[in-house]
Amino acid sequence: MTTDTLGLREQKKLETRQLISDQATRLFIERGFEETTIADIAHAARVAKKTVTNYFARKEDLALDHHEQFVASLANVVASRAPGQSALAALREAFLEAARQQNPVAGFAGLPFTRMIEQSPTLVARLRDLHEQREQALAAVLRAETNAVDDDITPDAVGAQLGAAHRVLFQQIQRLTLEGLPGDEVAERVTASALRVFDLLHPSLGDYAIRPRP
């Protein structure tokens, strides 16, 4: 099998996955997450039910399609911070940029999608779980970056504080979106909130996990 053939096959898989995700999102918004079945999604995407479950192990993953990126987001920011930059400074900079771009991973999902999540107890619970996973992933990177010993609770405590800060900001974005505010105004308000939140954390965490300069 040629490299071109492999490339076409992978492209086809990506296209099928995106088609399923798009159809699922449309149905979830139109009918509600709880009311939409895997069979409904398969029919809309013109694929077998097994194809849907092969691409998405959980129904919730069809709605929260970027869950892996979300869970890894804070850890990735800290792992790639610049020399001389602390974990807090890197996360502050990254969040302000995400707000400027109105990045969906930061919570800028638009009114229909945000309302769909808010009306589904299953998705609310899943999102809570993803926030916890993101916090744990961040703590793991902080532990590695600071060479903390196994019984040092500091990385876990710092990860919890930084994770909670992002969770509060995420929830504010959702709340303002549900109030019907346009994206630009949501971004402006949450930016002001983020500056306040990160300033509150700076006295205790401003010098934590500063990446050494070469």
Tell me whether domains 3-58 and 67-205 share a fold. Answer: no
Cα–Cα nearest to 34, from 55, 66, 62? 62
Q: What is the pLDDT of residue 148?
A: 97
Answer whether 167's CB lies under 8 Å from 131's CB: yes
Provide the b/e sequence for 49-81 (b: ≥16 CB within 10 Å): eebbeebbeebbbbbbbebeebbbbbbebbbeb
Query: Residue 119 above 70 pLDDT?
Result: yes
How many residues are there in the chain?
214
Over residues 144-169, the pLDDT tens digits come to 999 999 999 999 999 999 999 999 99
Q: What is the pTM of this model?
A: 0.91
- CATH code at 67-205: 1.10.357
Q: What is the mean pLDDT of residues 125-151?
A: 97
Q: How many CB atoms lie within 10 A of CB 137?
A: 20
Q: What is the mean pLDDT of residues 90-94?
A: 98
Q: What is the pLDDT of residue 5?
A: 63
Domain boundaries, the chain: 3-58, 67-205
Average pLDDT across the chain, whole number: 95
Question: CATH number of the domain at 3-58, out of 3.40.50.620, 1.10.10.60, 3.40.1190.20, 1.10.10.10?
Answer: 1.10.10.60
Query: Residue 3 above 70 pLDDT?
Result: no
Answer whether 21's CB lies under 8 Å from 45's CB: no
